[in-house]
A = this chain, B = another copy of it.
Amino acid sequence: MKNQGYYSQFGGAYIPEILASTFDELETAYIEARDDPAFWQEYLDLMSTYSCRATPITRLDNLSEQLGGASIYVKREDLNHTGAHKVNNVMGQGLLTKRMGKTRVIAETGAGQHGVATATMAAKFGFDCTIYMGAHDVARQRPNVFWMEQMGATVVAVTEGSQTLKDAINEAFRDWVTNMDDTHYALGTACGPHPFPEMVSWFQSIIGTEARQQMLDRTGVLPHRVYACVGGGSNAMGLFSGFMDDKEVELVGVEAGGRGRGSGEHAARLAYDDATIGVAQGYKTYFLQDRDGQMQDTHSVSAGLDYVGVSPILSHLHETKRVRFEAATDDDVVAAMQRTVRCEGLIPALESSHAFAQAYLEAPQMSPEENILINMSGRADKDIFTVADAIADPKWRDFIIQKAAAYQMENLNG
């Protein structure tokens, strides 16, 4: 273990001693894979046959016209197998796990998206699989739990702490420190100890590499701004990395504004002023924490952005001002989602809808000659319980109540 994996002051690997050699092994495997062109080719082949890469770019014809400013393009990560960009990272780590000769994978999950992707990868590669998920999230996201279990994964409901994503991460580390010999921890976002932020960003860079070329092919020019939502930061890093060296392209990361600035109920680490630098979950970054360094409860309508920390690489890009950070509130996000569904027939995940909300705010101020690109990191149709609750659909409630009554009746009848 060396002191490395820093992006200005952010990053590092603050890990229990027992994982030191596991991280050395992981880093070695990662570097060897990165330096081996055959590995990336294998990865590309897998992603183009098992998922549908390259995912397309869709122009929002109706909303571009309605909003009357920039032309809006969308990178369609929602079309991936399992419905989100998460699978890019997971399949890459699956190949790496195979390379390291390990036979079991574990992962944390918040909304369940990364859990489903990991369980899928495990089924595909024949690995044993355990997914850690906050008990609150297990209760909220049963459909995802259902599919993980169908894939053969063991889903552990984490009853510690706030029972959400960060606690699931802690619990996954606790598993790992016991089972590191045969187990790889497939962390789901560009956070955690080095080399995860860099490695996850590398796998996700497939998004940006494709998107840059696709925008050039489609419009002849680079987009003026690109938008991505930021939870841990993996989809944002994935898209942004394609445009990092194109100084003329403005990169906009959109965090969960929850109930708004000053409400204390949000997950905006970089866009608002509430976060401070700290070290937790194995890395140094901006965290929503109190003065003692205790992590605080966060809030977002989207489970996938509801997280206390953020990719150290994004904290760095925030400080260097290469990326502009904004936050979208729950209400604006739900409105942006509904608008996108109704006007374009696309169903962005609530996470992704943060990027849409910010883009819709800015597009009208831009000229029709300009193009913007939004990362649609996932689709919302798996989050129907959350979405139906967010918009308080009475018919959905009636349906659930009736369905429950039918189940209770069957239970009674044996």
Where the two chains meet, the residues of A that have a C-beta atom closer than 8 Å to any C-beta of B are 48-52, 55-59, 61-62, 76, 79-81, 83, 119-124, 126, 139, 142-143, 145-147, 149-152, 338, 341-347, 381-382, 384-385, 388, 393, 395-397, 399-405, 407-408, 411
Assess whether A403 is in contact with B385, with CB atoms less than 8 Å apart. yes
Assess whether B402 is in contact with A407, with CB atoms less than 8 Å apart. no
Residues of B within 8 A of A62 (CB): 124, 126
Residues of B within 8 A of A79 (CB): 51-52, 79-81
Can you list 12 A-B pairs, Cβ within 8 angstroms, ordered by A? A52-B55, A52-B56, A76-B81, A81-B345, A83-B381, A142-B399, A147-B384, A150-B342, A150-B347, A151-B342, A385-B403, A404-B404
Assess whether A405 is in contact with B404, with CB atoms less than 8 Å apart. yes
Q: How far is the CA of A52 from the CA of B396 in the complex (A)?
A: 30
Protomer copies: 2
Residues of B within 8 A of A407 (CB): 397, 400-401
Q: How far is the CA of A408 from the CA of B400 in the complex (A)?
A: 10
Q: How far is the CA of A56 from the CA of B168 in the complex (A)?
A: 34
Q: How far is the CA of A61 from the CA of B46 in the complex (A)?
A: 12
Residues of B within 8 A of A121 (CB): 345
Assess whether B52 is in contact with A343, with CB atoms less than 8 Å apart. no
Q: How far is the CA of A343 from the CA of B125 in the complex (A)?
A: 9
Assess whether A345 is in contact with B56, with CB atoms less than 8 Å apart. no
Assess whether B146 is in contact with A345, with CB atoms less than 8 Å apart. no
